[in-house]
Structure formats: C-alpha cells, structure tokens
Amino acid sequence: MKTMKTNTTRSASDSKPSPLAIVLGLLLTLLATPALQAQCRYSWEIIDGPFCPSEGGPEAFTGKTLDEDGNAAGFNQCFLALKASSWSGSGEAPHLTGPPSVGDSFAHGMIDLDHIVGEAAQLSNGMDIAAYWEFGQGRLLDLLPGTNTSTAYGINSSGLIVGLNYDNIFGPLHAVLWVNDQPIVLALPIGPNSSASDINELGQITGWMGEPATRLAFLYDDGVVTTIPLLPNGVSTDGAAINNLGHVAGRGVVDVTGIGLTNHALFWDGTNSIDLGTLPGHEKSYATDLNDAEQIVGYSRGDNGNEAVLWQDGQMYRLVDLLEPPLGLGNTIAHAINNRGQIILDEGTTVRLTPIDSPPGDTDNNCVVNVDDLLCVLTEWGNSISIADVNDDGIVNVLDLLQVLADWG
C-alpha cells in the first residue's frame, strides 16, 4: 500500500462540531423525537422516476434515504443507465445534476433535498468516487493519496460527511470523515480495514473495523472509540445507522445451532447489543436504519426472499401487514425511517409509508385493542389523570369504555 501523507491521517477529533452545533443537535433530538404513540398502520404512495423512452413508462426509482420532511433520495434506472435522483414528496423523482464527466451515480444519504451524498462513476476509468449534491448540483469529493475509489454514506447538518476510501486493487478500506470535501482517516484501534456508514447531529459516527469476517461495529465520538459488543454466540458486528441518542442499528453474524453462521439484526442501546431476531421460518435479518424513538427498520430473509420489517417496543412487524389499504408486495426491504415515522420501502418499486397512529382505545400502545385495554379502563375508573382517559376529557368513565369497545380488535 502506498504511504499516506501525515496530514491526511490526523484524528477526526481535530474537526469536531462546534459547541453551537452540539447544542442544536441536542435540541433537534428533543424536538424531532416522535411521540410514544404506537404506529400500527401506514398509508402509502408509490414513487416513480421520469418517463423512460426505452421502457415506455416511468423510470424505476430506488429510494435509499429519507429526510425529516419525508423527501427521499436514491437512484433511477432507465435501460442500463443509473442516475442519482431525489423526490420532493410529490410527483416524480427527477435526476440530480451529476458532476462533470461521470456515468452512473447513486445517492445514499441526505439532510434535505439540497444536501445529498453518494457516489458517481468516472467516465475516464469507471472508478466510483464519493459525490456531494448541494442545491441539486453534484461534485466529487477528494480522495486520500494512494486510493482510487470512495463512497459517501452519511451527512449531518454541520456538513460533515462519512464513508470510505480505498485502492480497488491493493486496499485496504479506510473509514473517512470529509470536512470541506477533504477526507480524514478515522483513528480506529482495529484494522486493517474500516468503513464509516452514518453520522448523527452530534458528530458521532458508526461503521465497522477489522477483517471482513471478524469485523466489529464501532461508535466514534470525538476521537474516543467504543467497540460495540458481539451478540450472544456472535462472530462479528456491523453498524449501519446511528440516531441522535448515540444508539446503533446494524447486524451481527451469529452461530445458530442447526443453521451455522447467519446474520441477525442488531440494536445497541449504548450498553448492550440486542439480537432483534427474525420472522418465523426465516434464518437471516438486517437492520438498516433507526430513528430517535428507536423504531428500527430493515428486513428478514427466508427461502422466499426478503420481507420488510419494523421493530417497535420489543415487537417485530411485517410492514406489508400494516398497510392501509392493502398493497400486494413481494420481495421487500425497508431502507430508511425518519423521526416522523415515515419509511422508505423497496421491492423494485419504491413506496413511502406514512404512519397512522394507533387508535385511541389502545391504552398500552401495543397496536392491539383487547381485554388488556378494557381492564386498564376499569382499573383506572374515575381517575382524572390516566392513560385510560382515551378521549382526553379529564376523567375515566363510560365514554372511555365505549371508545375501547369501538376500537376493539
């Protein structure tokens, strides 16, 4: 491997967010975190790209990321061409203007429609280079000396971008933080490889480090690195997304009796790594994103393909079962969730889901109105401050009982 100059491998703590940015990040966490109301049903809308002449219909849009306003970014496909695209919440998803002299391009992360990151392939050599679209216009981010390939996966509102750089022949992979388009190698304790996948508003970063087969997920916080523990019977971990609480979702490789090594979705709560499990009959699962209410999305994989899932309050839900009206979907993956609970779902066609909160009679917010809610109303009968006051009139009485019965099932 070529030796890198010292000024490109300094600690990323030299470029930490300002105190003002940290305060703003904390305020964002408090203001943007969804209410604890369970989200049990979802309305939906399909996102298409512009007309593709060779296909005689709209381009297929694949959404990869979602901002707090429900806007999406990803890429469109028209015949063999792939173009980074964004969607503003209505109409089609037009192409982003690519950097000069590039071919295929992809968007992976966004703050809003004006600040999107991803990668673009150079026409001169076909190498993918990290790209930043600012106000719709794309440019390539600088490479580390001795590397020829890069990807940007995440960005925060301070303009800090994370991803990886590497030489496509000799390697290794370097987790990097771009500050003003300049890449800085994250100083991580385990090598030789690493990748940074996401960054939150406080500048905390997650990703993985080490050998690919025994990689370990990490939390990087102002130069301090925390290794995220393995799952029970685990072999490796991988951090995919981080929220503003500093908690991480991703996956762990575990050794399951009768199956062998397999992937299970992982959630790290700041102390413990939690195995999120799989749907019945499935062997694998992956967590792709989480929000500040710690709703986690991803997919579970079985013999018949993938099923997009939501993990909420310790329960796993098939997202296709929660759609209203029903929508016939097959092989699905949930790529992203925002702090409004909106989700990007992909099955070749991208669908944005918008939550419909649980009915008023669901006193325990478990997405089912049943005898437990009835008992809660009876137990709290006559109280003036209670979760059983489902109609918010200041007292638990027969009106709340009638509401539970109306919402039953």
Give pLDDT, residue 32: 47
Question: What ranges make up the beta strands (E) of 231-381?
Answer: 234-242, 248-256, 260-268, 273-277, 284-290, 296-302, 305-312, 315-318, 333-337, 343-346, 350-357
Residues 259 and 376 in one domain: no
Give pLDDT, residue 26: 52
Rounded Cα–Cα distance for residues 99 and 132 (Å): 9
Give pLDDT, residue 323: 94
Rounded Cα–Cα distance for residues 184 and 370 (Å): 54
Q: For the chain, what is the domain count?
A: 2
Q: Residue 250 pLDDT more than 70?
A: yes
Residues 215 and 343 in one domain: yes
Name 263's Cβ contacts closer than 8 Å, sequence gap at least 6: 251, 252, 253, 254, 284, 285, 286
Q: Give the tens place of pLDDT for each residue, 168-190.
A: 999 999 999 999 999 999 999 99
Q: Give the tens place of pLDDT for each residue, 56-95.
A: 999 999 999 999 999 999 999 998 899 999 999 777 899 9
Count of beta carbons in the 10 Å neighbourhood of residue 180? 10
Residue 45 lies in a domain: yes
Residues 216 and 84 in one domain: yes
Question: What ranges make up the beta strands (E) of 88-215?
Answer: 102-112, 115-122, 128-134, 137-140, 149-155, 161-166, 174-179, 182-185, 193-199, 205-210
> In the chain, what is the greatest distance between 2 CA atoms, to the nearest angstrom?
76
Helix (H, G, I), strand (E, B) or coil at 389: coil
Helix (H, G, I), strand (E, B) or coil at 33: coil
Q: Which CATH number goes with the domain that contains 220?
A: 2.130.10.150
Which tokens go with 171? 């390697």
What's the whole-model pTM score?
Answer: 0.85
Residues 351 and 380 in one domain: no
**Closest to 270 in 3D by CA, of 299, 297, 290:** 290
b/e sequence 195-218, b meaning 16+ C-beta within 10 Å: bbbbbbbbbbbbbbbbeeeebbbb
Residues 398 and 293 in one domain: no
Residue 168 lies in a domain: yes
Residues 149 and 270 in one domain: yes
* Mean pLDDT over each residue of the chain, to the nearest integer: 89
Q: Give the tens place of pLDDT for each residue, 324-377.
A: 999 988 899 999 999 999 999 999 889 999 998 778 888 876 778 899 889 998
Residues 380 and 285 in one domain: no
